[in-house]
Amino acid sequence: MSWLDPYTKAFDAIVDAISEVIGEDRRRVSYLLAVPSRREYGDLSFPAIRYVKSSGLSAEEIAVRVREILEERGINYVGVSVLKGYLNFTLDVGAIAEKLAGMAGEKILEVPRTGEPLKIVVEHTSANPIHPLHMGHARNTCLGDTLSRMLMARGHNVNRRFYVDDVGKQVAVAALGVKVLGIDPMEEAVKHGLKPDHLVGWIYAATHTIIDIKRLKKAAGEAERDEDKRRIMGEIEDLMSVLADLESKDPAGYFNRLLEGLSRIDDPEKTLSEMMIRYEKGLEPERTLIRGVATTVLEGFKQTLARLDVEFDAWDWESSLVWEGLVERVLEEARRSPYFIYYKGAEALDLPRFIRERVKPDPELRRHFRLPRGFEIPPLILRRSDGTTLYTTRDIAYSIYKFEVTGADKVYNVVGAEQRLSQLQVRLALAAIGYTSIAINMVHYDYELVTLPRMKMSSRRGRIVVLDDILETLRTLAEEEVEKRNPGAPRDWVRGVAEKIAVGALRFRMVQTSPQKPLLFDIEKALDLAENSGPYLQYTYARASSILRKLGANAQLQPPRRDACESPKRRELILQALRTPRVAAKAADDLAPEDLAVHLLKLADLFNSWYQEDPVIREPDVGARSCKTLIVYLVREALSLGLGLLGVPVLERM
RNA sequence: GGGCCCGUAGCUCAGCCAGGACAGAGCGCUGGCCUCCUAAGCCAGUGGUCGGGGGUUCAAAUCCCCCCGGGCCCGCCA
């Protein structure tokens, strides 16, 4: 049992008491026991009116029994009253403050550990290794990493994995470019002082564009109708301007070599598909070439992720799944499934029949899959008539792998909402093959995309908002501000602080809105560091730190004068800070980082407002100063706890 | 054509899943606050047919139905 602060302890005791008295589930009671809309109603409120009928007790009677139970359990700092059918609880903050005094320097706030620790895999980011991470990935990365942090804090055993999608056309395109140039991409990046993923990203975009133009030119020559021809010529024109743009960004004199090299290849599409087939078989030289290209890009990813303080426990290569026979194993198992069919000559699973016969009649399965009402899908092809496998097939194999290699109870896949259908298909397929528990315990953690005003990203045209660039812009801006506020501060220090502010701004922004909503990332506004932002919280933390620093020896916590903690703002601040562990625990259980973000903003608002009118250091009364010092301690610790979970770095000064 | 998600103040969003006590923040705009703990802050003011219409309920932003608007998805692509 971990240490519980008096607030969490009281909350739990109240939940227990109510649930015993009215005979309702603890979870439900815990949900309904909320902070009321008006302060006069108390610190916590419960709508007992709902349970008057079912329990046969009046609200007053419920209150009396709850109070008895609380007293029995030694929770003597909670008052209960009844108003309009609500039980209103008021905490004796003075008594709580007394309990907390003397704990200076110790950890007071801690996320309560779950009673059911699980082994959880969080798969996130998993960007294709062809170009740098962009803003689209940023939300995925931040959500995935924050989720991981929260689940770990809750006591789960979390395993973070990155799926390297190297079997496919995109990486082959980049590899073809590298091959034509005859370079070792990693060495070249070092030689030219470029970030490795940026180098490959350019090669990918240029190669792709050149091949596309070539293909379109051929199509234009063959087009019979004039309007088709005109449309194609228009597309070619667009691509030519894209190409000109790429030429202007040529990182190391590659452009002409690439153009010439590719022009010597008769049918690039055919070359690519041969490369892909050979790679799937693990043949050289493709094996070394493609792995090399992907590894180069991953190296760049790792640099960016390190800036964001994001780590992975494992990198899973799609190609390895193929080479080690896991994909083949899935196919064999599928063939033994009663739902295996040949569909137009390809090996497939009859998902429509599976849904009809197994999912719909089974309430539990129906609940887990949450099938839309008029849901209809065609059979799922696992292997093409030409014998090659599909992405989905490999994804099924990977799903099994994730559970088997880790012994996971649960897997969260952080994947964009646009892939809902395909994620559902994978889970249905798993169940149809017989992996029912995997299908049930695999969760698609979906989020809407990041939209950029006045901008449409296109990765294959090299027109992406690169995450590194955003971070650089944010850092530069923060640097100016830090310098202005700290004249004469050492260069390195300024840089370090600015970097943390940039990371804080980005990470907070990416998780503060609920994942179901598209996130509008306005670069102009993101650069404005005010608003409900990460830097605002960092600033508040730094402020609290500064006060404690200046208090010096006086920062030792003395028992506060009880009544000194009773003023509305002071007691509200103490309570809001103490609520943080519970909020964090619930946010973790609900997989809702935005709830924690909102809570921290509210805490910071209260603190800043209080700070302005109630000075700490100049407070002459020792008992009152102790209470204020306690508040600063608690707020600083609550922010530290919360920001740590969100991956927003804390700063002692800024 | 079918399905999923979203629609709350000029803008960005909380609240909706598990209905309850006058609908909340921030930004913006207007005005004020640094001989005093960091002004990336604070205070005051401004601003809402909760997309529209029905229904259920003692009670609806929240649940149900219909409609409107926006995004996404429905490949032997990845």
Closest C1' nucleotide to A610's CA:
B42
If one compares A463 and A623, the residue with the highest pLDDT of the two is A623
- Is the CB of residue A286 less than 8 Å from the CB of residue A167? no
pLDDT band per the 50, 70, 90 thresholds, residue A102: low
How many C-beta neighbours within 10 Å does residue A488 have?
5
Closest C1' nucleotide to A519's CA:
B12
CA of A97 to C1' of B23 (A): 34
How many whole angstroms from its chain centre is CA A175? 30
Within 7 Å of a protein beta carbon, the nucleotides of strand B are 2-7, 12-15, 17-18, 20-22, 24-28, 36-43, 71-78
In the prediction, which pLDDT does A1 show?
42
- Is the CB of residue A129 less than 8 Å from the CB of residue A165? yes
Q: Report the SS3 class of residue A450.
A: strand
* Rounded distance between C-alpha atoms, residue A604 and residue A535, angstroms: 11
CA of A348 to C1' of B2 (A): 23
Task: Quick: pLDDT tens for A235-292.
Answer: 888 889 889 999 999 999 999 999 999 999 988 989 998 999 899 999 999 999 999 9
Task: Quick: pLDDT tens for A296-307.
Answer: 999 999 999 999
* Rounded distance between C-alpha atoms, residue A551 and residue A264, angstroms: 74
Closest C1' nucleotide to A505's CA:
B40
Residue A44 tokens read as 């916590």
pTM of the model: 0.94
Choose the weakest-confidence range: A125-134, A329-338, A550-559, A588-597.
Answer: A550-559
Choose the weakest-confidence range: A128-132, A340-344, A556-560.
Answer: A556-560
* Rounded distance between C-alpha atoms, residue A363 and residue A619, angstroms: 64
Rounded mean pLDDT, A31-53:
81
* Rounded distance between C-alpha atoms, residue A400 and residue A324, angstroms: 14
Closest C1' nucleotide to A481's CA:
B40
Cβ neighbourhood burial of A153 (10 Å; 0-12, 13-18, 19+): buried
For residue A606, what are the contacts with CB-CB under 8 A and spacing of at least 6?
Answer: A569, A572, A573, A576
Q: What is the percent of chain A with per-residue pLDDT over 70, rounded to a whole number?
A: 95
Peptide bond into A352 cis (omega under 30): no
pLDDT band per the 50, 70, 90 thresholds, residue A175: very high
* Rounded distance between C-alpha atoms, residue A310 and residue A141, angstroms: 8
In the prediction, which pLDDT does A528 show?
64
Residue type, A384: R
Residue A644 tokens read as 């740590």
Task: Quick: pLDDT tens for A488-522.
Answer: 899 999 999 999 999 999 999 999 999 988 888 87
CA of A584 to C1' of B37 (A): 29
Residues facing A412 on adjacent strands: A122, A443
If one compares A78 and A1, the residue with the highest pLDDT of the two is A78
In the prediction, which pLDDT does A555 show?
63
CA of A450 to C1' of B4 (A): 18
Closest C1' nucleotide to A520's CA:
B12
CA of A319 to C1' of B74 (A): 28
CA of A455 to C1' of B23 (A): 34
Buried b (16+ CB within 10 A) or exposed e, A605-634: ebbeebbeeeebeebeeeebbbbbbbbbbb
* Rounded distance between C-alpha atoms, residue A167 and residue A172, angstroms: 8
Give backbone dihedrals phi and psi of A348, rounded to 5 degrees, phi first: -150, 170
Rounded mean pLDDT, A589-611:
93
Radius of gyration (C-alpha) of chain A in whole angstroms: 29
For residue A373, what are the contacts with CB-CB under 8 A and spacing of at least 6?
Answer: none
In the prediction, which pLDDT does A58 show?
84
Q: Within chain A, what is the greatest distance between any pair of CA atoms?
A: 92
Closest CA-bearing residue to C1' of B38: A543
In the prediction, which pLDDT does A5 show?
85
In the prediction, which pLDDT does A553 show?
67
- Is the CB of residue A477 less than 8 Å from the CB of residue A446? no
Closest C1' nucleotide to A46's CA:
B20
* Rounded distance between C-alpha atoms, residue A28 and residue A611, angstroms: 37
In the prediction, which pLDDT does A610 show?
93
Nearest CA to A243 out of A209, A212, A200 is that of: A209
List of E strands, A14-54 = 44-47
Rounded mean pLDDT, A192-207:
95
Residue A144 tokens read as 């995935």
Closest CA-bearing residue to C1' of B6: A517
Task: Quick: pLDDT tens for A371-398.
Answer: 877 777 889 999 988 888 899 999 999 9
- Is the CB of residue A113 less than 8 Å from the CB of residue A154? yes
Residue A71 has pLDDT above 70, yes or no: yes
In the prediction, which pLDDT does A556 show?
66
* Rounded distance between C-alpha atoms, residue A82 and residue A70, angstroms: 16
Residue A341 has pLDDT above 90, yes or no: yes
CA of A363 to C1' of B20 (A): 32
For residue A221, what are the contacts with CB-CB under 8 A and spacing of at least 6?
Answer: none
- Strands of the sheet containing A78-83, edge to edge, are A44-47, A86-91, A78-83
CA of A444 to C1' of B8 (A): 28
How many C-beta neighbours within 10 Å does residue A52 have?
15
Closest C1' nucleotide to A419's CA:
B73
Residue A229 has pLDDT above 90, yes or no: no
* Rounded distance between C-alpha atoms, residue A109 and residue A574, angstroms: 12
Rounded mean pLDDT, A15-25:
88
Helical packing angle, A93-100 and A6-22, nearest 10°: 130
